[in-house]
Amino acid sequence: MKKIAALIISFFMLSATCFAQPTIYANQIGFDLKGPKIAVVSVDKALARKTVFRLINTASNEAEFTGVLSGPQTIDEWTPGKSYYSADFSAFKKSGKYSVSVTIDNKTYTSYPFTIEENALAKLTISSIIHYYNKQRANTPAELEADAHMHMIGSDKTVDMRGGWCDASGDVSKYFSHLAYANFMSPQQTPLVVWSMVSASEAIPGLLAKWNIKDSLDNEALYGADYMMRALSKDDYFYMIIFSYFNKDPNARRIVGLHANSVTTDEYQCAFREGGGMAIAALARISQWKKNGEFTSQQYLDGAKRAFAHLLKYNTKYDDDGKENIIDDYCALMAATELWIATDDPLYRDEARKRAQNLDKRMGPDGYFIANDANRPYWHASDAGLPVVALSRYLTKEKNPGRREAALSTIKKALNYNLAVTNNTSNPFGYARQSFLYKGAVKDGFFIPHDNETGWWWQGEDARLGSLATAALVGGKLVYPEKRGWGVKPELSAFASQQVSWILGCNPYSMCFMYGFGKSNVPYMHSNFGHGSERGGVSNGITGKEGNGDGSGIDFKTEDKGNEWRWTEEWIPHAAWFLQAVTAMAEKSGE
């Protein structure tokens, strides 16, 4: 009976989203006054004539802008037979609360209301993102007591591993990275969060102070830095994972490495690509604040130096296949760059230049990066924009004309590719596409392939979307600068806007994946020690169809016999990249 009920619920949910027509899909939180503003309208069949849409002020119920729907586009891989139209009201620049309205066959349909305001998304969401991380702190009495004497797997030795953030709304483990054994899919987790907070604080300090949230953000970043210092071993490597074994007993936790299916190992030393590089970068960068947490700013810098020197000697020993790949390059580039900025030491300059050159060499003829030394296209479920972000950060320090030209050329090719692969097919939502190797051939697709090096791991890609939106804006300001809007050419602004809008409800399921916002959220997810879903957290999101090895089709489930985490679980990288994206939107572009 339960199975039948779940199928019925799933059917009606899909009917109410993908197949109920007409439907207006829009960002359910807000649009920046100076940025793109695009909604999507779907109908069962193409409209017979040009159709007007209206932007309705929800206070006065008056139309303040009218436009003509553009289209149609189709996406038969997801919704066969549907026609999609774009409602573009980017030209409208008046603050207020609005909804999009369209009349079809004498019946009027209206979107969920949203705000239009200067720096709307940063203003409306960053405080909640800080709240989310604060609630994810592993600081309950049970966690603190157990973590103060954390055992290493297979050893009686204990380490003080207090602090940090629980990784996800359903997982109280703490990760610098996971999936290390897969070599090409390691995400940046706790260290990315810290670096993202520091970067945001430095990018828009005036706005954060105006909104009375800068101190809260800075304190959360220092809290994260303190945890990374505790995770730095006496032997100068970072411990990668505190794993809970999904056990309610906090004393069951261990310092581990992970293989597939939660098989734990003693391979817990972080390589550059396994969180080590971003941890070094975050510590070096936050050390320049000259603010102390439980450790001093000098200790942050000294820790970053120690860890960097160690990985120069032992990185390939910690890489599971004994070889460096693109993830080592961009994470080591970030580490070397932040140390170069912090110290002006030529050692870090030379290492940063080496890693930047490696990324330049990895740019393939088709415009995408090559992840290995052969033919594997670089794609990533959460950090796809990080190569461009790392090169952009490097260019804040690099002044050599030749080296700048090379890095800028690589950034431009990467951004051109992102636009091209996204727009080379009918794509009404503007969802960022990617190239990947599948059964020996390169294929383009919307979602990551489910048959990949991990053997089991695939999930929604909201972090990937945030990272690519960030890359489009941060990198775009360097290679396609404009004085208007967000400081980049319109194509990149639209690309960035549509990735964020997808996360916030402009997707085929009308689901706002930032919890506590919008019309529809994923169900609450409970976790151990009182943790769980929190306002401001971002869920995994939408995937390719379950069972399709190449990631084709589309899927979203709120119940799946325990596997619903693939879609509904909040994960700390999602909010970290979302924070970067909305910060880049709010950052002054030299107007």
- Are the C-beta atoms of residues 62 and 450 closer than 8 Å to each other? no
3-state per-residue secondary structure call for 343-391: HCCHHHHHHHHHHHHHHHHHECCCCCEECCCCCCECCCCCCCCHHHHHH
Dihedral pair phi/psi, residue 83, rounded to 5° = -120, 140
Predicted pLDDT at 250: 93
For the chain, what percent of residues have pLDDT higher than 90? Answer: 95
Using the predicted structure, report yes or no on whether residue 14 has a pLDDT greater than 80.
no
CA angle 339, 573, 112 (to 5 degrees): 135
3-state per-residue secondary structure call for 307-346: HHHHHHHHHHHHCCCCCCCHHHHHHHHHHHHHHHHHHCCH
Residues in CB range of 182: below 8 A, 6 or more apart: 320, 452, 453, 454, 455, 457
Q: Can you read off the two tokens belonging to residue 456?
A: 């089991």
Secondary structure letter of residue 44 according to DSSP:
S
Cα distance between residue 423 and residue 448, in whole Å: 17
- Are the C-beta atoms of residues 400 and 406 closer than 8 Å to each other? no
Dump the DSSP string for 188-211.
P-HHHHHHHHHHHHHHSHHHHHHT
Average pLDDT value for residue range 478-505: 97
Predicted pLDDT at 20: 53
Q: Which domains does the chain have, with CATH numbers?
A: 20-117 (2.60.40.10), 120-586 (1.50.10.10)
Cα distance between residue 44 and residue 21, in whole Å: 6
Cα distance between residue 71 and residue 499, in whole Å: 20
Cα distance between residue 446 and residue 408, in whole Å: 27
Per residue in 84-112, pLDDT (tens digit) is 999 999 999 999 999 999 999 999 999 99
- Are the C-beta atoms of residues 566 and 556 closer than 8 Å to each other? no
Cα distance between residue 189 and residue 165, in whole Å: 10
CA distances, 91 to each of 121, 477, 485 (Å):
18, 21, 11
Per residue in 373-400, pLDDT (tens digit) is 999 999 999 999 999 999 999 999 999 9
pTM score, whole prediction: 0.96
Mean pLDDT of the chain: 95
- Answer whether the bond into residue 22 is a cis peptide, omega within 30°: yes
Q: Which residue's structure tokens are 């800075």?
A: 218
Q: Are strands 158-159 and 150-151 parallel, antiparallel or unpaired?
A: antiparallel
Predicted pLDDT at 21: 75
Q: Are strands 52-57 and 62-68 parallel, antiparallel or unpaired?
A: antiparallel
Confidence of residue 591 (pLDDT cuts 50, 70, 90): very low
- Are the C-beta atoms of residues 307 and 276 closer than 8 Å to each other? yes
Cα distance between residue 397 and residue 215, in whole Å: 27
CA distances, 546 to each of 332, 427, 542, 551 (Å):
35, 21, 11, 8
Between helix 490-503 and helix 462-479 the angle, nearest 10°, is: 160
Q: Can you read off the two tokens belonging to residue 238?
A: 């970072």
At 255, which helix (H) or strand (E)?
strand 254-258
Per residue in 287-342, pLDDT (tens digit) is 999 999 999 999 999 999 999 999 999 999 999 999 999 999 999 999 999 999 99
- Answer whether the bond into residue 72 is a cis peptide, omega within 30°: yes
Using the predicted structure, report yes or no on whether residue 13 has a pLDDT greater than 60.
no
Predicted pLDDT at 197: 98
Predicted pLDDT at 4: 43
Confidence of residue 588 (pLDDT cuts 50, 70, 90): confident
Average pLDDT value for residue range 571-587: 98
Secondary structure letter of residue 479 according to DSSP:
H
Using the predicted structure, report yes or no on whether residue 247 has a pLDDT greater than 60.
yes
Average pLDDT value for residue range 103-126: 97
Cα distance between residue 51 and residue 177, in whole Å: 49
Cα distance between residue 585 and residue 505, in whole Å: 18
Per residue in 255-269, pLDDT (tens digit) is 999 999 889 999 999
Mark residue 186 as left, alpha or beta (left: phi above 0; alpha: psi -120 to 50; beta: remaining).
Answer: beta
Using the predicted structure, report yes or no on whether residue 2 has a pLDDT greater than 50.
no
Q: Which residue's structure tokens are 């405080």?
A: 127
Single-letter residue type at 528: N
CA distances, 19 to each of 49, 73, 426 (Å):
22, 16, 18
- Are the C-beta atoms of residues 452 and 551 closer than 8 Å to each other? no
Using the predicted structure, report yes or no on whether residue 12 has a pLDDT greater than 50.
no
